[in-house]
Amino acid sequence: MPGKPRPPEIAFRKHDHRRCQRQLLSEATQLCAERKLRLTARRRQVLEALLASHQPMGAYDILAELNQSAGEEHVAPPIVYRALEFLMSEGLIHRIESRNAFISCVQPGHRCGAQFLICRDCEQVAELEGNDDGLLAEADNLGFAVDHSVVEITGVCAECQKHAG
Ligand SMILES: [Zn+2]
Ligand SMILES: [Zn+2]
Ligand SMILES: [Zn+2]
């Protein structure tokens, strides 16, 4: 059951983020069950860290977060990188190249390219769900075999513009 589509600009507005978290976590869990993938405790922790907000997190922020909640057991960087690789390869999270950071996907498992609006004031990121058909069609016309497509648009969101006075 696909979740109700969330308007992408919700990332920039005040909203009940627990609903995003619950819905995305259940979609991710379901997707792993369908694909017979193991969402291990560690992978889940990394995903949950990213689901905490609409702001991207660097690998070291995630590591710090995990080490804070892990108690006795120390989490080493390769463990986080492996979990990130897994989550990316299954389309549960994306990498924001320009920030060298990661963000949870709003449509877990989609196969098309990802497009992001990145607010440089509040640092929230909205993922646009449409696919950039125009660009991809052009690549196709040129006989170019696309294996990865990310569009990152930086600017100021409507909320931050209001507050800028
Ligand atoms: Zn939210
Ligand atoms: Zn996505
Ligand atoms: Zn903003």
Q: Ligand 3 center to residue 97 CA distance, Å?
A: 19
User: Could you state, in chain order, the average pLDDT of each consecutive group of 10 residues for the chain (165 residues)?
Assistant: 67 94 94 94 95 96 88 86 95 93 90 86 89 80 88 95 84
pLDDT score, position 164: 79
Tell me, in angstroms, the distance from the centre of ligand 3 to residue 149's CA. 24
DSSP characters for 119-138?
Answer: ETTT--EEEE-S--HHHHHH
- pLDDT at residue 1, as a whole number: 41
Neighbours of ion ligand 3 (CB under 5 A): 119, 121-122, 157, 160
* Environment of ion ligand 1 (residues, CB < 5 A): 17, 20
The pLDDT of residue 22 is: 95
Architecture of domain 8-164: Orthogonal Bundle (1.10)
Q: Which ligand is nearest to the CA of 162?
A: 3
For the whole model, what pTM was predicted?
Answer: 0.87
